[in-house]
Amino acid sequence: MINYLTHDLIIHLIIFQLAVLVVILSNLVILHRARKHAPPDDLPMVSILVPARNEEKNIVRCIQSLLAQDYPSFEVLVLDDQSNDGTLAILSQMAESQPKLKVLAGSSPPEDQSGKNWACSQLAHQAQGDLLLFTDADTVHQPQSLRIIVTALIGEQADLVTGFPRQHVLSWIERLLVPFFTWASISFIPLWLAYRMRLPALVVAVGQMMVFRREAYQKIGGYDALGKAIVDDLLLARKIKAAGMRWRVVRLSDLISCRMYHGGWETIQGFTKNLFAAFDFRLLTYLFVFLWLATLFWTPAIVLVSLAFGQAPNARVDELAVCMGLSLLVWMIPYLETGIPFHLALLYPVTILANVVIAFRSLFYSLTGRLTWKERTLTKPDWKWL
């Protein structure tokens, strides 16, 4: 057994990482290719929909960036989701001088609907556009982003387009946790295969930017049909896939940026809420994935230390060097693509360890019904073995 762990397993990890590298490179080609379509002659009207709860620190930059879009026909609808800070007052003042901006006062969610899902549902019912673009109140959009995204949707003949905005990470907890979802999606979901299969696990969606054709959104029931689902973006994309409609992922890191969480504690709470939910509360799948990630990125370092102390006679330095070099590439390329600081890729073993810890925290809080978000208690989920 020790011989396998210190030699054969390293070879298997090398082979696995070569496959992951192929997935990453093919995904980057697909992300970039979706941006190469010529603009259509007529661009449809877009409703940009922004739910906002206690966002007074972010809301001005977000809305100003949306109102500055180089696009012929759009509206910006922002719903104040019962904020207890200055969000509504700020929005109301902005709307006085911005005819494209409409501010809605959100009502309390019904018993069968979560706060954000209800907020987005109210927004969609008020939207006038042929396309519905959902985005978060902590995003900032470049002036050309809407034109490029709509061109990609039309060119790809898609019903849903999403992508990975650039994530600003300032605290160390943010640096270790926030890039993980984007990295994992680019590394382990082969888009060329995901586009052709209806497997719900093979789906990517990021709620910071999702644009739907109105008829597709209505066909799947939109946010009205999500109830108390926690990861609304993934569930909507799965519904699009299950209905046989087209979803596509496009490169966004040069168009949209976001600071998802502010500070370490908020980051921990956010990932505690989302990690287990992203796996549809499938216990054994969830445990396998995080234990495998820990094995993949920690085994070579452990074997190298063991070799230095004469405890791994069958281990080879050259094989360990190849394995760890591939690990660095597997982290570095997605980080460079999505604008994550280059040097953070060097910390990939620490990043994995931090996410494994939060993964078990997410599991515990989900199973015990202790999940909360933005001062609201979330419903205890129904989990599955597989």
Kindly state whether residue 384 falls inside one of the protein's structural domains.
no
Reading the block at residue 341, the tokens are 């600081």
**Same domain (yes/no): 298, 222:** no
**Structural domain containing residue 128:** 33-260
Q: Is the dihedral of CA 365, 110, 63, 205 positive or negative?
A: positive
pTM score, two decimals?
A: 0.95
Q: What is the pLDDT of residue 198?
A: 86
**Same domain (yes/no): 191, 139:** yes
Kindly state whether residue 196 falls inside one of the protein's structural domains.
yes
Q: Is the dihedral of CA 305, 311, 312, 316 positive or negative?
A: positive
Helix boundaries (H) for 309-369: 317-338, 348-367
Domain count, the chain: 2
Kindly state whether residue 69 falls inside one of the protein's structural domains.
yes
What's the Rg (C-alpha) of the chain? 22
Reading the block at residue 376, the tokens are 């609201």
Residues 6+ apart with CB under 8 A from 167: 178, 179, 182, 257, 258, 259, 260, 338, 339, 340
Question: Which residue in 220, 221, 276 sits closest to 245, CA to CA?
Answer: 220
Kindly state whether residue 386 falls inside one of the protein's structural domains.
no
Q: Is the dihedral of CA 111, 112, 114, 120 positive or negative?
A: negative
For the residues of 57-103, what is the DSSP string, one character each? TTHHHHHHHHHT---SSEEEEEEE-S-SSSHHHHHHHHHTT-TTEEE
Q: What is the pLDDT of residue 214?
A: 98
Task: Give the span between the Cα atoms of 343 and 350, in whole angstroms.
Answer: 13
Q: What is the pLDDT of residue 129?
A: 98
Q: What is the CATH number of the domain that holds 55?
A: 3.90.550.10
**Same domain (yes/no): 312, 173:** no
Helix, strand, or coil (residue 139): strand
pLDDT tens-digit profile, the chain (386 residues): 777 888 899 999 999 999 999 999 999 999 999 999 999 999 999 999 999 999 999 999 999 999 999 999 999 999 999 999 999 999 999 999 999 999 999 999 998 899 999 999 999 999 999 999 999 999 999 999 999 999 999 999 999 999 999 999 999 999 999 999 999 999 999 999 999 998 888 999 999 999 999 999 999 999 999 999 999 999 999 999 999 999 999 999 999 999 999 999 999 999 999 999 999 999 999 999 999 999 999 999 999 999 998 888 889 999 999 999 999 999 999 999 999 998 999 999 999 999 999 999 999 999 999 999 888 889 899 999 99
Q: What is the pLDDT of residue 180?
A: 97
Q: Half-sphere exposure (CA, 13 Å, Cβ side) for 153?
A: 26
Asked if residues 285 and 191 have their Cβ atoms less than 8 Å apart, the reply is no
Q: What is the pLDDT of residue 312?
A: 84
Asked if residues 170 and 258 have their Cβ atoms less than 8 Å apart, the reply is no
Task: Give the span between the Cα atoms of 112 and 128, in whole angstroms.
Answer: 26
**Same domain (yes/no): 46, 117:** yes
